[in-house]
Amino acid sequence: MIRTAIAGTLLQLLHLLVALAAAPLLLGVTRFAKSRLQSRRGPSPIQPYRDLLRLMRKETVLAHDASWIFRATPYLVFSLMVIAAGMVPMFALDLPLASAGDLIAIVALLATARFFQSLAGLDIGTAFGGIGASRDALIGSLAEPAVLMVAFALALVAGTTALPAIARFVLSGGVGVDVSLALALIALLIVAIAENGRIPVDNPATHLELTMVHEAMVLEYSGRNLALIEAAQMLKLLIFVSLVAALFAPWGLAAGDVLDLLELGGGLLIFLLHLLVGAAVIAIFEVSIAKMRVFRVVEFLGAALILAVLAVVFRFVAEAS
């Protein structure tokens, strides 16, 4: 009993450390791959680590009007992302934190982070903060129901919204080639792009005033606060990549006894593979598409919502037999 508890805690800590360590790498590799695809040299894959380190050391400049909400938000957002990351299986399935919240709870944690970030955007009282918060609200309010519908489709297939249980169900091979899962996967990918502010919804590499969404919200942050926000953003990308991987391709993740080092090592290798594939997919997608107008995003995300609803409807047809 105590032995498993200790092992679980160790595994959870290891998981969090790996997640924190891997998040900048994922972003770095994505940027690297993207610049190579665009025939640029691009910064090295470890550039995000350097950025974070430099930001941590830099002086923090706060606007005169910044309130305690502005100062607390980076810590809150970062903490929320860490908790959410702690719930998503990355290299091992049986995380103690995974029993503290299911897919809906993870979505809600991300929504809480968005809530605080929007408030921080409004806090300084600049037009940019407002424009970012307002547009982010538009994107978020359409992305969240889409994720919930994806969760619904998964719950219909696997009978639960607990992530390890869904992954186990997929592993058990009882699914086969399932239409609902395919539709849900597409919907989840669209949402992942929107939630992480990637092209075509938002461009993380621009500060052009008319196109910014996320960057406009965090415009006033600097130094350590900015580092935390950026780290949270990297974690979010990692969360979505591992979410897709854990739900739709959980093969090879450590699923058995948590102290089996061989299995853990295998899980880590698979995790690395997932990251590389995820980065490659994002990079290819981003170089082959142009950014959308803000009001086109509604249709893009509406399509995700509709696909997720269709996934649910098809599942009902299949179940009715």
Partner 1 sequence: MLTLTLLGLLVLLALGVSAPFIRPDRLALRLVHGGVGGVALALGIAAAIRLVAGGEVSELDLPLGLPWMGTHFRLDDLACFFMAAINLAAALVMVFADGYAARQPEPTRALAPLPIFLAACNLVLLANDAFVFLLAWEMMSIASWLLVLANHREDESRHAAYVYLAMASLSVLLLLLAFGALAGIDGDYRFAALREATERPPMATLAVVLAMLGAGAKAGLVPLHVWLPLAHPAAPSHVSALLSGVMVKIALYGLARFLFDLVGAPAWWWGVVLVVAGAASALIGILYALMQRDLKRVLAYSTIENVGVITFALGLSLCFRASELFDLSALALAGALAHALNHALFKSLMFCGAGVILEATHLRDLERMGGLVRRMPYASLFMLMGSLAASSLPPLNGFVSEWLIFQTVFASSALHDNLPRLIVPLMGAVLALSAALAAVAFVRAFGLAFLGRPRSVEAERAVEPGGTMMTGLALLAGGCLLLGVFPVVTLSLAESAAHGVIGVSLPAGAVGWIVLAPLGSGGAAYAGFIVFLALLGLAVGTRPLLARLWAERRRRAAAWDCGFPDASPSTQYTASSFSQPLRRVFGTAFFRARETVDMPAPGDARPARLEIRLIDPAWDWGVEPIRRAVEAATLRLNATQFLSIRRYLSLMFGALVTLLLIVAATQQ
Partner 2 sequence: MFATIAYDLSHMAGAMVLLAGFVVLYQRRVLGVLRAFAAQSIAVAGAAAWQAYSQEAPHLYVTAAIALLLKGIAAPIALNRIVRRLDIHRTVETAVGIGATMLAGVGLVVLATLLVLPVTVSSAALTRETLAIALSVVLIGFLMMITRRNAITQVVGFMSLENGLVLAAVGVKGMPLVVEMSVAFSLLIAFILFGMFFFRIRERFDTLDLQSIESFRGERR
94 touches partner 1 by CB under 8 A: no
Q: Check residue 8 for interaction with partner 1 (CB under 8 A).
A: no
In this chain, which of 23, 25, 133, 243 binds partner 1, going by CB under 8 A? Answer: 133
8 Å CB contact between 187 and 305: yes
Rounded Cα distance between 271 and 91, Å, is 5
Beta bridge partners of 92: 254
> According to CB under 8 A, which one of 15, 31, 114, 198 is a site residue for partner 1?
114
Interface residue with partner 1 among 179, 209, 251, 284 (CB under 8 A) is: 209
Tokens of 254: 């450590």
Phi-psi category of 177—alpha, beta or left, where left has phi over 0 and alpha has psi -120 to 50? Answer: beta
280 vs 294 by CB, closer to partner 2: 294
Give the N- to C-terminal CA distance of the chain in Å, as an integer: 43
Of positions 86, 89, 197, 267, contacts partner 1 by CB under 8 A: 86
CB of 310 to partner 2, least distance (A): 6
Which of 239, 240, 88 shows the shortest CA–CA distance to 166? 88
Q: Tell which positions 253-292 bind partner 1, by CB under 8 A.
A: none
Nearer to partner 2, 81 or 297 (CB): 297
Residue 24 CB, shortest distance to partner 1, in Å, is: 16
CB of 5 to partner 2, least distance (A): 41
Smallest distance, partner 2 to C-beta of residue 303, A? 6
Q: CA-to-CA distance for 197 and 31, rounded, in angstroms?
A: 14
Note if the bond before 48 is cis, omega within 30 degrees: no
Give me the least distance between CB of 47 and partner 2, in Å please. 36
Q: Is 72 in the site for partner 1 (CB under 8 A)?
A: yes
Residues 213-242 that bind partner 1 (CB under 8 A): 219-220, 222-224, 228
CA distance 278 to 274: 6
Residue type, 260: D
- Tokens 């969090």 locate to 16
Q: State the minimum distance, in angstroms, from the CB of residue 73 to partner 2.
A: 33
As a whole number of angstroms, the distance between CA 186 and CA 154 comes to 13
287 binds, among partner 2, partner 1, none (CB under 5 to 8 A by kind): none
Q: Which residue in the set 7, 14, 105, 182 belongs to the binding site for partner 1 (CB under 8 A)?
A: 105
Find, among 146, 122, 135, 132, the residue nearest to 295 by Cα. Answer: 135
Q: Which does 128 bind (CB under 5 to 8 A by kind): partner 2, partner 1, none?
A: partner 1
| Tokens coding 42 | 């691009």
Of 42-50, 130-138, 181-189, 190-198: span binding partner 1 (CB under 8 A)? 130-138
Tokens of 243: 């979410």
- Compare residues 138 and 186 and give the one whose CB is closer to partner 2: 186
